[in-house]
Amino acid sequence: MTTKYSLDKLEHLCLDHREHIIRLAQKHEFGIHLGGSLSLTEILISLYFRVAHNDPNNPNWPDRDRIVLSKGHGNVGLLTTLAMRGYFTLDRFVNFNQLENFYSMHADAHVPGVEHSAGSLGHGLSVSIGMALAARLDKKNWRVYCILGDGEIMEGSVWEAFMSAGHFKLNNLIAIIDRNKLTQENYTYNVMDLEPLASKGIAFGWQVFEVNGHNLTDLHTAFAAAQPDKPKMIIAHTLKGRGVPSHEDQIKSHFAHLSPEQAKAALAIITQERARLEKV
């Protein structure tokens, strides 16, 4: 089943998503993976509430689309989305990352709705290719959506996977690259320059779109575009820590705790955005 929420409704859900994450970042003094979860907000909300076939009442529905969070440290963003979608209640992971708790810092397949456990980076696209090939062999129509970080795609295994997907012409595979341009250490162009990323994707046999990853219309235009006999790559330009002024586009946002003052400033922006949407 696909929910098909309107874009207006999705805008409100994105604000809810950011608010939950901001409150978690204030609550947990040891910190959370903040920046890379906030940069995923529009991508995750779009997938689970409009684009992908998924059913929170039947997480193992055989005909569901598979959504793989390869950048597993964005798990707070994923868990928040799954809770909002109804896979479990929000209070289930408020005290996450405790001993014997599957609701953790990285994606864990024991959690309802999570397709792939992700600790070490660079594996999710290869797993997604296996899923896409399985769907083809079984003559199934479901799709695979793989979310990658731009720091993660410095891994050689990812480029082997890009090459394989192009070779097998996997038109049931969509890779979304969270292009926030920051790793946990530095800007990507200082660590390992990725550009020209779109040209590389095309050279590897992919259909490539570059979009504003915080613009729902841009994202949905790319998701809905007809997919020829090749995999689709969506390079989503985002802002790490989006919505938290003290942490936007900063290395420190990768893993962070928000002070009451920082959280208050971020929540005030959300309140302003809610008021703006209500006037539209």
**Strands ordered across the beta sheet of 144-149:** 66-69, 144-149, 173-179, 232-237, 207-212
Note the pLDDT of residue 15: 98
pLDDT tens for 65-80 read 999 999 999 999 999 9
For residue 67, which of 89, 83, 88, 45 has the smallest C-alpha distance?
45
Give the Cα separation of 177 and 200 in Å (integer): 13
- Would the pTM count as exceeding 0.85? yes
Q: Give whole-number Cα distances, 244 to 18, 25, 74, in Å.
A: 9, 11, 16
Task: Please provide residue 109's backbone torsions phi and psi, each rounded to the nearest 5 degrees.
Answer: -70, -5
Q: How far apart are CA 89 and CA 206, in angstroms?
A: 38
* Strand ranges (E), the chain: 66-69, 144-149, 173-179, 207-212, 232-237
HEC string of 206-265 equals CEEEEEECCCHHHHHHHHHCCCCCCCEEEEEECCCCCCCCCCCCCHHHCCECCCHHHHHH
Conformation bin of residue 144: beta by default, left when phi > 0, alpha when psi is -120 to 50: beta
Q: How do the pLDDT tens digits run along the chain, 280 residues long?
A: 666 789 999 999 999 999 999 999 998 888 899 999 999 999 999 999 999 999 999 999 999 999 999 999 999 999 999 999 999 998 887 777 776 677 878 888 999 999 999 978 899 999 999 999 999 999 999 999 999 999 999 999 999 999 999 999 999 999 999 999 999 899 999 999 999 999 999 999 999 999 999 999 999 999 999 999 999 999 999 999 999 999 999 999 998 999 999 999 999 999 999 999 988 7
- Tell me, what's the pLDDT at 104? 79
* Amino acid 2: pLDDT: 60
Fold of 7-279: Rossmann fold (3.40.50)
Identify the bridge partners of residue 67 per DSSP, sorted by sequence position. 145
Between CA 211 and CA 38, with CA 255 as vertex, the angle to 5 degrees is: 30
Element (H, E) at 167: helix 156-167
- CA-based radius of gyration for the chain: 18
Q: Which parts of 28-72 fold into alpha helices (H)?
A: 35-38, 41-46
174-197 pLDDT, tens digit each = 999 999 999 989 999 999 999 999
The Cα–Cα gap between 194 and 202 comes to 14
Encoded tokens for 134: 């399985």
Amino acid making up residue 259? S
Strand partners, 147: 69, 176
